[in-house]
């Protein structure tokens, strides 16, 4: 399967000679917009055990603040992407970021866990605009290799956010208390809104015909009817989605069972980041020689090793930092080798509705985190949840890839529909 051909076929037919924004400018804007979602997801994970005590509630209730964040993020992507096609990238970004900002203030002032859960759901709704609009802006402005470079960076940031944010959250909580974490989110929301107002330039012409319900239903229906697309998304959901699921349980395992402080937890999570970055570096070195598609089974092998290690070791021994984080890091190492090829493959057959494809792919990605987090919360014991849910997600990714690789490459006529 020729991924370079896929990328070329997926590009728009018309290319602007002088881009409306530079590649560096789009990269910075896209990276910032993408980062706010996963950062807001995981930023307060070090505070979760303390929030249980502060509100006199249960671990399951606090875990729901993450699960509903996933829900808001996942479902809002199906809306904000098409809306930006019709109304424009900038106005929709400002509207959804206003929702995020208001929700962050509400979370900061929440008097009880119910209010905090509602605020986190609304935060997810608002933050969803970052991923959808960032990918759309790249597609609007650039094509071919320049577009691929920026998209690759956006994909990396989307996976790195949950790994880096706990470090920032742990340090913030250690020195300023858990309320300060939501102050950080308020500041992040203000920064993104200012960037959307003064740095981001509009890249599409307002056209409300693009958001007609019948057109959206037809577009999403064609995606769901494509086994090629759905299986790509399931591979991405079982790999990258596992990072989001882990965010719901690792704080309780490492802080309550292992005994780390919030700062130690935040710093310890850098092990996940380091392994992901190592995988990305190895991927960059080997991809020119072997190709992106050939690296997917290598990555899934590391995913399998990490998943099996979790399933066996965490059921056999009392959890320690290394016993937990070595399998988590191995899983993350494999993810970096899987996502570039599978994201490209998912988008390539749909040049005429790439915005809907991007939104649906994000829905699968965050929806997996929502379902995995909800199952983990329902199971109660975070160690058992980690040893069960993450291996199950890895299995879904591997089986989906094994089926996907046997499918024929979509024909030219399919691409042009």
SS3 per-residue string spanning the chain: CCHHHHHHHHCCCCCCCCCCCCHHHHHHHHHHHHHHHHHHHHCCHHHHHHHHHHHCCCHHHHHHHHHHHHHHHHHHHHHHHHHHHHHCHHHHHHHHHHHHHHHHHHHHCCCCHHHHHHHHHHHHHHHHHHHHHHHHHHHHHCCHHHHHHHHHHHHHHHHHHHHHHHHHHHHHHHHHCCHHHHHHHHHHHHHHHHHHHHCCCCCCCCCHHHHCHHHHHHHHHHHHCCHHHHHHHHHHHHHHHHHHHHCCCHHHHHHHHCCCCHHHHHHHCHHHHHHHHHHHHHHHHHHHHHCHHHHHHHHHHHHHHHHHHHHHHHHHCCCCHHHHHHHHHHHHHHHHHHHHHHHHHHHCCCCCCHHHHHHHHHHHHHHHHHHHHHHHHHHCCHHHHHHHHHHHHHHHHHHHHHHHCCCCCCCHHHHCC
Lowest mean pLDDT among 10-24, 72-86, 109-123, 210-224: 10-24
Please tell me the predicted confidence (pLDDT) of residue 159. 58
- The larger pLDDT score, comparing residue 4 to residue 185, is at 185
Q: Is the pLDDT of residue 215 over 80?
A: no
Instruction: Using a pLDDT cut of 70, give the percent of the chain over it.
Output: 86
Q: Given pLDDT bands bounded at 50, 70 and 90, which one contains residue 105?
A: very high
Q: Given pLDDT bands bounded at 50, 70 and 90, which one contains residue 12?
A: very low
Q: Is the pLDDT of residue 283 over 60?
A: yes
Distance CA 192, CA 68 (A): 22
Please tell me the predicted confidence (pLDDT) of residue 398. 94
Cα 258 vs. chain centroid, distance in angstroms? 27
Please tell me the predicted confidence (pLDDT) of residue 123. 94
- The larger pLDDT score, comparing residue 89 to residue 45, is at 89
- The larger pLDDT score, comparing residue 351 to residue 181, is at 181
CATH number belonging to domain 3-9+22-202+212-415: 1.20.1250.20
**10 Å Cβ neighbour count for 51?**
19
**pTM for this predicted structure:** 0.74
Q: Given pLDDT bands bounded at 50, 70 and 90, which one contains residue 305?
A: very high
Q: Is the pLDDT of residue 99 over 80?
A: yes
Please tell me the predicted confidence (pLDDT) of residue 311. 93
Average pLDDT of the residues in 77-89: 82
What value does the mean pLDDT of the chain take? 80
Please tell me the predicted confidence (pLDDT) of residue 307. 94
Lowest mean pLDDT among 204-208, 304-308, 329-333: 204-208
Please tell me the predicted confidence (pLDDT) of residue 376. 85
Please tell me the predicted confidence (pLDDT) of residue 341. 79
What is the tens place of the pLDDT at every residue in 128-174?
888 888 877 877 777 655 666 676 666 666 656 666 777 777 778 77
Q: Is the pLDDT of residue 414 over 50?
A: no
What is the tens place of the pLDDT at every residue in 351-380?
666 667 777 888 888 788 878 888 887 887
Domain ranges of the chain: 3-9+22-202+212-415
Q: Is the pLDDT of residue 416 over 70?
A: no
Please tell me the predicted confidence (pLDDT) of residue 2. 45
Lowest mean pLDDT among 9-13, 109-113, 161-165, 410-414: 9-13
């Amino acid at each position: 399967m020729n991924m370079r051909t896929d990328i070329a076929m997926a590009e728009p037919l018309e290319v602007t000679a002088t881009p409306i924004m530079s590649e560096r400018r789009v990269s910075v804007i896209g990276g910032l917009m993408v980062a706010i979602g996963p950062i807001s997801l995981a930023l307060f994970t070090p505070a979760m055990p303390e929030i249980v005590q502060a509100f006199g509630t249960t671990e399951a209730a606090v875990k729901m603040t993450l699960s509903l964040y996933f829900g808001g993020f996942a479902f809002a992507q199906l809306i904000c992407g098409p809306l930006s096609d019709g109304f424009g990238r900038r106005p929709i970004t400002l509207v959804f970021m206003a929702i995020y900002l208001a929700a962050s203030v509400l979370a900061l002032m929440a008097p009880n866990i119910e209010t905090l859960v509602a605020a986190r759901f609304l935060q997810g709704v608002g933050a969803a605009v970052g991923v959808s609009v960032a990918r759309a802006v790249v597609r609007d402005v650039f094509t071919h290799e320049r577009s691929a470079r920026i998209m690759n960076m956006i994909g990396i940031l989307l996976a790195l956010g949950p790994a880096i944010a706990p470090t920032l959250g742990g340090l913030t909580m250690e020195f300023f208390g858990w309320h300060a974490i939501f102050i950080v989110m308020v500041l992040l929301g203000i920064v993104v809104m200012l960037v959307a107002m003064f740095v981001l330039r509009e890249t599409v012409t307002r056209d409300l015909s693009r958001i007609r319900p019948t057109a959206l239903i037809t577009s999403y229906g064609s995606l769901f009817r494509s086994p090629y697309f759905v299986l790509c998304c399931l591979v991405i959901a079982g790999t990258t989605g596992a990072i989001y699921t882990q965010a719901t349980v690792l704080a309780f395992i490492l802080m309550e069972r292992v005994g780390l402080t919030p700062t130690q937890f935040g710093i310890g999570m850098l092990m996940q980041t380091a392994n992901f970055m190592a995988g990305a570096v190895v991927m960059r070195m080997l991809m020119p020689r072997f190709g992106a598609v050939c690296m997917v089974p290598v990555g899934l092998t590391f995913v399998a090793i990490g998943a099996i290690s979790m399933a066996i070791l965490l059921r056999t021994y009392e959890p320690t930092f290394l016993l937990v984080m070595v399998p988590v890091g191995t899983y993350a190492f494999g993810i970096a080798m899987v996502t570039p090829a599978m994201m490209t493959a998912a988008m390539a057959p749909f040049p005429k509705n790439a915005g809907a494809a991007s939104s649906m792919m994000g829905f699968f990605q965050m929806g997996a985190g929502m379902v995995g987090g909800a199952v983990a919360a329902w199971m109660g014991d975070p160690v058992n949840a980690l040893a069960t849910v993450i291996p199950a997600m890895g299995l879904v990714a591997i089986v989906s890839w094994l089926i996907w690789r046997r499918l024929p490459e979509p024909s030219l006529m399919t691409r042009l529909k």
